[in-house]
Copies of this chain bind each other. A is one copy, B any other.
Amino acid sequence: MKKRPKSVLPDDRYFDPNPQHKKTAQHLYSLVADLPLVCPHGHVDPRLFADPDYSFGTPTELLLIPDHYIFRMLYSQGIPLEKLGIPRRDGGQVEQDHRRIWQIFAENFYLFRGTPTGTWLTHELHSVFGVEDKLSGESAQDIYDQIAARLASPEFRPRKLFEQFNIEVLCTTDAATDPLDHHRAIRQSGWGGRIRPTFRPDAVVNIDTPNWRQNIEALSEVSGSEVTNYRTFIRALENRRAYFKEMGATATDHAALTAYTEELSEREAEAIFRRALKGQATTEDAIRFTGHMLMENARMSIEDGLVMQFHPGSYRNHNPLIFERFGPDKGGDIPIRTEFTRNLRPLLNKYGHDPRLTLILFTLDETTYARELAPLAGHYPAVKLGPPWWFHDSLNGMKRYFDQVIETAGLYNTVGFNDDTRAFPSIPARHDLWRRASANWIAGLVVRGIVDLTDAEEMVQDAAYRLAKRAYKFHAEPDQA
């Protein structure tokens, strides 16, 4: 067999090539490379940890089918999702041969040159699965075998990987109506890994959600008190928040198309809610109610101490053909321009000065970093900025974030990193990229005489570990840095 090209993963990757800059970056990185991973926001399925014998399935099931970052790129080049084994909603025929799917992926892996998906995957294959060959059509099947062999070993159970990855805490994202059975199972199992739920009420709070009426029924059921009007709805939400908190949650998460907030009178809220129950709510009702519920959730956060995360600006399911055939989260969500200064004013004017509230803002519109978000975070005590989100969770995205946020907001109005992923085995790769990117950026301050090395050493540890832990109130865990 002829020698195959090896994948590249140099030790000094992602650092600036200037020797002085690189040396400083490497030093800073060395301080954080082995710190535990704090994962306060993500979409890993808690089922992985509820069942001690959970198996990831085939390499294709693990790495490709659940990862819309990957299959959207293949789709964009004309490869139908059916050929990639993405399950159809109607149960229609899709490719079942996982080796064949893997082959297509490998042959098209050149599409990911220069993308974060490409770098994460190279890291993951190398560090988690010991793959040294570069992924290509030629090496595809051998690499498949290698991964499959590892996956068969008991060391590749999720709990084992969780420990091996040195994860200190991992938060999932869970519907308000979720009974948190997996979380309860994990707690009762006696296993020591810290898995925490996050309260995400979008599907009951946004009255234009498809099947909203059923979600309200589910809310009644799970909260044990019937939701018949706005007042009982609020009570049910408070009840669920309390339950989530009891189950270890320290945070909530909220999505909306825009950042619009507005405080409705109780009478208005009640009227809209009743129209919604009757299926008679208007588009304007939905917008106003969502804006009002953001304020209500801020109020509740002040009362129960749950950290509030807000992710506006994604136009979900832009491509209805894909949505109808395959469902949501299939790579067809496209960002829109987002406005915070005026939209968040009602909420911030009422609650922004309250130190009991932590409101973590995320954006897909990078133009808001320097113009709106950093000034807001640099003023309101409640506001903190989340790390670069989704499309911007990348080397360039991180550089733009640091460049545009820190000068106005300072590092200490940010909350470090979160990996925001469904792809559990990619977690170390994602944190490593952040740690390298932040070490490199902070080294840039040192070599230009903007901060001294002592400050830089503090900053890099804050960015890698401490800020996330503090912002998300993970008090229980001992501070290791």
Contact = CB atoms under 8 A, between A and B. Distances in A.
A447 interface: yes
Given A13-B450, A113-B459, A407-B396, A348 B375 contact: no
Interface string A396-418: 11001001101111111100000
Contacts of A283: none
Contacts of A46: none
Counting chain B CB atoms within 10 Å of each CB, the highest count among A134, A337, A366, A377 belongs to: A337
Interface residues of A, number: 97
A14 B318 contact: no
A93 interface: no
Given A403-B396, A445-B114, A449-B8, A379 B341 contact: no
Contact of A5 (B367, B450, B454): B454
Interface stretch (A73-81, A176-184, A220-228): A73-81
Given A337-B371, A379-B76, A394-B407, A447 B17 contact: yes
Nearest to A11: B449
A12 interface: yes
A9 interface: yes
B336 A341 contact: yes
A5 to B, nearest CB: 7
A49 interface: no
A137 to B, nearest CB: 14
Interface stretch (A140-148, A268-276, A349-357, A471-479): A349-357
A437 to B, nearest CB: 11
Contacts of A334: 341, 372, 375-376, 379
A20 B371 CA distance: 34
A319 B404 CA distance: 23
A365 interface: yes
Interface string A89-115: 000000000000000000000111111
Contacts of A87: none
Interface in A420-462: 442, 445, 447-452, 454-455, 458-459
Contacts of A449: 8-10, 12-14
A8 B379 contact: no
Contacts of A450: 13-14, 114, 119, 395
A72 interface: yes
Contacts of A77: 381, 412-413
A371 B335 CA distance: 6
Contacts of A322: 353
B21 A17 contact: yes
Interface in A287-317: 315
Given A13-B449, A111-B412, A392 B406 contact: no
A57 interface: no
Given A15-B448, A73-B410, A119-B450, 14 more contacts: A7-B452, A9-B449, A17-B447, A77-B381, A113-B411, A114-B407, A134-B452, A315-B341, A319-B348, A320-B349, A364-B371, A374-B391, A396-B404, A396-B407
16 contacts: A8-B449, A13-B449, A17-B20, A17-B21, A111-B410, A113-B411, A114-B406, A115-B407, A118-B451, A321-B349, A321-B353, A334-B379, A365-B367, A367-B367, A391-B407, A395-B407
Interface of A: 5, 7-10, 12-18, 20-21, 72-73, 75-78, 110-116, 118-119, 134, 315, 318-322, 331-337, 339, 341-342, 345, 348-349, 352-353, 355, 364-367, 370-372, 374-381, 383, 391-392, 394-397, 400, 403-404, 406-413, 442, 445, 447-452, 454-455, 458-459
Query: Which 3 interchain pairs have the tightest Cβ spacing?
Result: A13-B449, A10-B449, A17-B447
